[in-house]
Amino acid sequence: MIELVIKNGKVVFPSDTIETSIAIDQGKIVAIGSSSIMPRGVKSLDAEGKFVLPGCIDPHVHVRDVFMGATANDDFFLASKATSLGGTTTIIDFAIQKKACLPIDAVQERRAEADGEVVIDYSLHPSITDLTPETIDQFKELIDLGLPSFKLFLVYRKDGLMVDDGTLLKVFEETKAHGGLVGLHAENVAIIDYLRDEALRKGHRKAIYHAYTRPPITEAEAVNRAIFLANHLNAPYYNFHLTIKEGVEMFREERKRGRPMYAETCTHYLVKTIEDLKGSKGINFICNPPLRQEEDQKALWKGLADGTVSVVSSDQVAFTAEMKKLGEDSFDMVPNGVPGHEFRLPILFSEGVRKKRININRLSEITSTNAAKIFGLYPKKGIINVGSDADIVIFDPNLKKTITTEDSLYSMDWYPYEGMTVKGYPVITISKGKIIWENGEFQGKKGDGEFLRRTISQDLLRTPVV
Ligand code: DUC
Ligand code: ZN
Ligand code: ZN
């Protein structure tokens, strides 16, 4: 007998949703077909009336981030436990190179924090901050080790994360040579620093000035520059957290020309706006790039629907309201980032599928399949297919919940989505064939998640295949 059978669910495939059954054994999907021909399972789940989706992938999280004097209120166990409740079965975090150290050291340090702790599979994007000759020598090694995607920051000068355009160009060149993909945090640091200093000089310290000193042009210029430099070398490019309508247009044009350019946005940019920075809890909503206008939201949703924007991540950082108070007197002192990764799928279902901005198949692509393809995890992850890992979410489209901090698994004292009611919520999460959440009860195990080695397909690096 095989281990598990999921019967009668509406199984979400890339271009179809079919009522069918799935057989799972030894962590893999072993058969898909009508329940009458399914082998018998030791355990059987009846998913009638529910969607059965590939486990979500969140390619942009910052677990236990240490930034601007604050340490995020989670760790790899808590973060992976919380996000899997919301249907995510793979996360990709960062390994940020320390000055005068090598990127591989950062990978080893980050692995020491995560291995043995994670309840779901994970990987890391190496982040380059110090392009010494020894660092350049490590690109091939990192890519061969299964770490082919990188994040570089064009901002955070004071914090030692920022790189200049020379570094960026060299990293595009090296990664292209060895089958890697460069992703950027694209904002124009010089304009932002100038506007910030000017605002502070005039005594403008409220949260809204965070957005006023990072206007859309600061992101548009940096995205445009990144695209320009990538095109110069005929290299692929991934844009972390795109927030502006001008950016969506740039990706639409590049992809029309057949360029391998991929844009990601995040849950908060789709449901929150600059207005949130004006409220009494305005400082909590400080993140980079900042929240934008409704017209940007509309452009992002349209981009998600028509294929221009490929991924929605969380950019999770578990900074509490208490930690955000570090900047209560001045916007520039607030630790950047917002929590709530566990609500990504339910929010996108309610706001996207229910409001007919996207269909359920596109929801599955932007939360799972596309990230699997872009970051080299496909078809092991990101699809319900025979031979793939049995990472599966059973999603009840009629289950209603109001988002609160009450049952937060990592003791959050606020969420950007607090008070929002969603209709549609995961009821069962399965990671590599094991049920890890069932009706709100955790059945997973610390350390059951594994470090994933990734290889990005050559096609994806040459043409916009997702
Ligand atoms: N922006 C980032 O670039 N990283 C963490 C959080 C944020 O808001
Ligand atoms: Zn970023
Ligand atoms: Zn981030």
113-164 pLDDT per residue, tens: 999 999 999 999 999 999 999 999 999 999 999 999 999 999 999 999 999 9
**Helix (H) or strand (E) run with residue 178 in it:** helix 165-178
- Among 67, 241, 242, name the best residue to mutate to test ligand 1's pocket (greatest count of ligand atoms within 8 A of Cβ): 241
Dihedral sign, Cα of residue 383, residue 385, residue 389, residue 395: positive
Give 64-90 pLDDT, tens digit per residue. Answer: 999 999 999 999 999 999 999 999 999
DSSP 8-class letter at 257: T
Position in ligand 1 atom list of the atom nearest CA 286: 8
Cα–Cα distance for residue pair 265/417, rounded to 1 Å = 16
| 35 pLDDT higher than 90 | no
Residue numbers of the domain that contains 226:
55-375
- Residue 50's SS3 state is coil
Residue 67 CA to ligand 1 centre (angstroms): 9
Residue 9 CA to ligand 3 centre (angstroms): 35
Ligand nearest to the CA of 290: 1
Give the binding-site residues of ligand 1, using a 6 Å CB cut-off.
Answer: 62, 185, 287-288, 315, 317, 336-337
Q: Taking Cα atoms as reference points, which of 339, 410, 346, 315 lies closest to residue 86? A: 346
Instruction: Look at residue 254 and tell me if it is in a domain.
Output: yes
Helices (H) and strands (E) in the chain, counts: 15, 19
pTM over 0.95: yes
- Among 93, 184, 315, name the best residue to mutate to test ligand 1's pocket (greatest count of ligand atoms within 8 A of Cβ): 315
Position in ligand 1 atom list of the atom nearest CA 287: 8
Instruction: Look at residue 12 and tell me if it is in a domain.
Output: no
Instruction: Look at residue 9 and tell me if it is in a domain.
Output: no
- Among 68, 74, 288, 334, name the best residue to mutate to test ligand 1's pocket (greatest count of ligand atoms within 8 A of Cβ): 288
Arithmetic mean of pLDDT, 340-368: 98
Q: Judge whether 297 and 269 are in contact, CB under 8 Å.
A: yes
Residues counted in the chain: 466
Q: Judge whether 163 and 152 are in contact, CB under 8 Å.
A: yes
Q: Give the percent of the chain with pLDDT over 70.
A: 100
Q: Judge whether 380 and 365 are in contact, CB under 8 Å.
A: no
Read off the tokens for 137.
């020598």
Tell me the CA distances in angstroms from 160 to 100, 129, 364, one per residue in order. 11, 7, 36
- Residue 203's SS3 state is coil
Residue 245 CA to ligand 3 centre (angstroms): 20
Residue 186 CA to ligand 2 centre (angstroms): 8
Q: Judge whether 319 and 349 are in contact, CB under 8 Å.
A: no
Instruction: Look at residue 276 and tell me if it is in a domain.
Output: yes
Residue 422 CA to ligand 3 centre (angstroms): 25
Instruction: Look at residue 343 and tell me if it is in a domain.
Output: yes
Instruction: Look at residue 1 and tell me if it is in a domain.
Output: no
Beta strands per DSSP E along 88-131 = 88-96, 121-127
Instruction: Look at residue 249 and tell me if it is in a domain.
Output: yes
- Among 61, 62, 272, name the best residue to mutate to test ligand 1's pocket (greatest count of ligand atoms within 8 A of Cβ): 62
Residue 156 CA to ligand 1 centre (angstroms): 10
Report CA 201 to chain centroid distance, whole Å. Answer: 36
Instruction: Look at residue 362 and tell me if it is in a domain.
Output: yes
Position in ligand 1 atom list of the atom nearest CA 65: 5
Q: Judge whether 119 and 426 are in contact, CB under 8 Å.
A: no
Contacting residues for 396 by C-beta, under 8 A, at least 6 apart: 49, 50, 424, 425, 426, 427
Position in ligand 1 atom list of the atom nearest CA 153: 3
- We report the CATH number of the domain holding residue 218 as 3.20.20.140
Residue 425 CA to ligand 2 centre (angstroms): 28
Among protein residues, the one with the nearest Cα to ligand 1's atom 6 is 337
Among protein residues, the one with the nearest Cα to ligand 1's atom 7 is 337
Give 457-466 pLDDT, tens digit per residue. Answer: 999 999 999 9
Residue 240 CA to ligand 2 centre (angstroms): 6
| 3 pLDDT higher than 90 | yes
Position in ligand 1 atom list of the atom nearest CA 155: 3
Q: Taking Cα atoms as reference points, which of 76, 117, 131, 150 lies closest to residue 316? A: 76
Query: Taking all residues of the chain, what is their mean pLDDT, rounded to a whole number?
Result: 98
Q: Judge whether 123 and 451 are in contact, CB under 8 Å.
A: yes
**Which residue's entry shows tokens 């809204």?**
208
Position in ligand 1 atom list of the atom nearest CA 62: 5
Task: Characterize 85-97 residue by residue with b for buried, 16 or more Cβ atoms within 10 angstroms of its Cβ, and e for exposed.
Answer: bbbbbbbbbbbbb
Residues surrounding ion ligand 3 at CB below 5 Å: 315
Among protein residues, the one with the nearest Cα to ligand 1's atom 2 is 288
Give 232-273 pLDDT, tens digit per residue. Answer: 999 999 999 999 999 999 999 999 999 999 999 999 999 999
Residue 308 CA to ligand 3 centre (angstroms): 21
Among protein residues, the one with the nearest Cα to ligand 1's atom 3 is 288
Among protein residues, the one with the nearest Cα to ligand 1's atom 1 is 288
Alpha helices in 179-313 (DSSP H): 189-201, 208-212, 216-232, 245-256, 267-271, 294-306
Position in ligand 1 atom list of the atom nearest CA 240: 3
Q: Judge whether 431 and 55 are in contact, CB under 8 Å.
A: yes
Residue 135 CA to ligand 2 centre (angstroms): 21
Number of domains in the chain: 1
